[in-house]
Homo-oligomer: A and B are copies of this chain.
Amino acid sequence: MSPEEKPAPVTGAGRKKRLSRELVLSAALALVDAEGLDALTMRRLGQELGRDPMGLYRYAENRAALLDGVSELVLNELSIFPDDPDWQAQLRHIAHDLRRLALRHPNVVPLLVTRPLSTPLGLRPLGTLRPLEQILSLLIDAGFTPADALHVYRAYYGYLYGHILNELQEIIADPDENEALLRLGLHRLPAKDFPRLRALAPVLADYDGAAELDQGINILLSGLAARLSSPDAQTSD
């Protein structure tokens, strides 16, 4: 009988065709989205594609490179218009785009945030650097000096990544259970040591990430915009 030959179309892409980098990476992404980072093992991914695990090494040197590929794939979902004349609006737009992207692929966020720490800037996957280049372009066209553009980028992206991490931390599996679970968790905290936190349980429970992001970005952007008008701010260069 041979009960497990060609088990199923799996992703629906093309079950038993020739493999390709995109195919491998998107299967990897699907797996991570569905079952988390730990589920992405060479063997498991091979099985998911109906292929021998060893074959994957044609498309990614090692597991680490595979992970890089996945984050690159996700970042490519981001669309930036570096020619938008309204740079603030564009930055706001990107911020919400990236936020949605993170919510769509929460399990990939650790990769996005962590992998660059072990790879010098110049050696990262190009797809990973494209947003940086495009935002620099946006800012320079808006009138910032290149050096200031870099500073603005850092402040902006810094806050953005920070917000995303914050928001993902406060999300719990099922939004319906959210309040219950949260309270459950908080209940464990000693009342003596964590009075403020415990009192905030209801506020913690309904978190409007988009609004929060908006407010932070607004504060930051209006602060950063001041650099454009008053060039006496020290750039320390």
A binding-site residues for B, Cβ under 8 Å? 106, 109-110, 113-114, 116-117, 120-123, 126, 129-130, 132-133, 136-137, 140, 146-147, 149-151, 154-155, 157-163, 165-166, 168-170, 172, 181-190, 193-197, 199-200, 203-204, 208, 211-212, 215-216, 218-220, 222-224, 236-237
Q: What's the minimum C-beta distance from A128 to chain B, rounded to whole angstroms?
A: 11
Q: What's the minimum C-beta distance from A138 to chain B, rounded to whole angstroms?
A: 10
B185 x A122 contact (CB < 8 A)? yes
| 15 new A-B contacts at CB < 8 Å, known A132-B197, A203-B237 | A113-B113, A117-B169, A121-B169, A122-B181, A122-B187, A147-B200, A149-B196, A151-B212, A154-B212, A154-B216, A155-B216, A161-B162, A161-B165, A162-B163, A219-B223
A109 x B117 contact (CB < 8 A)? yes
Contact partners of A146 in chain B: CB under 8 A: 196, 199-200, 203
Most buried by B among A147, A150, A165: A165
Interface of chain A, helix or strand or loop or mixed? Answer: helix
The residue in chain B whose Cβ has the minimal distance to the Cβ of A159 is: B159
Contact partners of A203 in chain B: CB under 8 A: 146-147, 150, 237
A216 x B158 contact (CB < 8 A)? yes
Q: What's the minimum C-beta distance from A212 to chain B, rounded to whole angstroms?
A: 6
Contact partners of A132 in chain B: CB under 8 A: 197
CB within 8 Å for A185 and B224 given contacts A194-B133, A196-B136: no
Tell me, in angstroms, the Cα distance from A196 to B149 when the chains sit together: 10
B236 x A188 contact (CB < 8 A)? no
A154 x B133 contact (CB < 8 A)? no
The contact sample of 7 A-B pairs, CB cut-off 8 A, is A110-B114, A121-B182, A130-B193, A140-B196, A147-B200, A147-B203, A159-B162
A166 x B157 contact (CB < 8 A)? yes
A169 x B116 contact (CB < 8 A)? yes
Contact of A151 among B183, B199, B215, B222 (CB under 8 A): B215
